[in-house]
Homo-oligomer: A and B are copies of this chain.
Amino acid sequence: MSNEWIYLSTHAPPQEPAALVDDFTPSLITQANHHLCPGCGEPIAIRAAMEAIEELELAERTITVFGIGCYTAFAHNLDVEVVQALHGRAPSVATGIKRMLPDGFVLTVQGDGDMVNEGLQEVLHAAARGENITCLLLNNGVFGETGGQMTTTTTLGQRTKTSIEGRDPHQHGHPILLSDLAATLDGAAYVARCAVNNAGNVARTKRYITRAYESQMAGAGFSLVEILTMCPTGWFVDTLEGPDYLQDTLAPVHGIGELKTP
C-alpha cells in the first residue's frame, strides 16, 4: 500500500536502551498460545488474576481450583498449583483445601454457568460459612463452551441460543445478580464486580482482584470478584463489537463497583 512507511518495525526488541515492562507470556502463565476464541475476555481476566498473585508474592502458596467452562483450558496452562473440580463444585473443593492448609492461598476460577447455574448453592454456602477463600466469577452471561445458551445471569431481552427472542422473564425468569446476592451474606468480606471490556476496566479488575487477595490473606473471610468478560462467539457478534455489547447488555444490569469491603 501507499503509506506502509508510516509503520514502525515491531519484529524485534528496540536497539535503543529500553526496559522490558511487559513480556509476551504473562507471569505464571505457562505458554501464551491457547485455543480460546478471538476477542474472548477470559484470558484477559486470568492474566490479571495471575499477575496479582505474582505481585503479592503468593505464587508459592497458591492453589487454584478450576470450574468447567472455556477458561478450563487454562487449568493446564498455569505455573501455580491447580485442582480441577467438577462443574459447579469448586467452592467445596477449595473449602477442603483451605481447611487443611490454613496458610495457603486458595482461589477458584468459575464461569457464570458454573457458579450461578450448576453451583449456586456451593458458592452461597461457602460465602455464608465465611470460608476464607477467593472466588473469581468470569461472567459472560452464557454457556460459552457449549455454544452460547442462556444462563441465570443472562440479562432480560438478551438473545442466546436458548432465548432466541431474547430472555423473557415469564418464560425464562429473571437474571441472578450473584455478587449482589453474595454480598448480603454475613460471611462475605469482600465482594466486587468489574469488567475487561476496555483498558480502564482491565486496570480496575486487577485492583479489585488484588484487594480480594489481600482480604483472604488478612483472614477476613469469603471474597468474590465478578468479572464481566466478552464472549463474541457465544453472543454471535463480531469480536470488535464485544466490548460495547458487554457495556450495553451486561453492565447496566450487573453493575460495576465494590459491593462490600472488609
Residues of A participating in the B interface, judged by any CB pair closer than 8 Å: 120-121, 124-125, 128-131, 152, 169-170, 172-176, 180-181, 184-187
Contacts and interface: CB of A to CB of B under 8 A. Distances in A.
Contacts of A128: 152, 173-176
10 contacts: A120-B124, A121-B121, A124-B124, A128-B152, A129-B172, A129-B174, A130-B173, A130-B174, A131-B173, A174-B186
A157 to B, nearest CB: 14
A61 B210 CA distance: 55
Contacts of A172: 129
Contacts of A181: 124, 181, 184-185
Contacts of A187: 169, 173-174
Contacts of A152: 125, 128
Contacts of A130: 169-170, 173-174
Given A125-B152, A128-B152, A128-B174, A169 B186 contact: yes
A187 B173 CA distance: 7
A96 to B, nearest CB: 15
Nearest to A120: B121
A176 B131 contact: no
A68 B126 CA distance: 23
A88 to B, nearest CB: 9
B173 A129 contact: yes
A121 B152 CA distance: 12
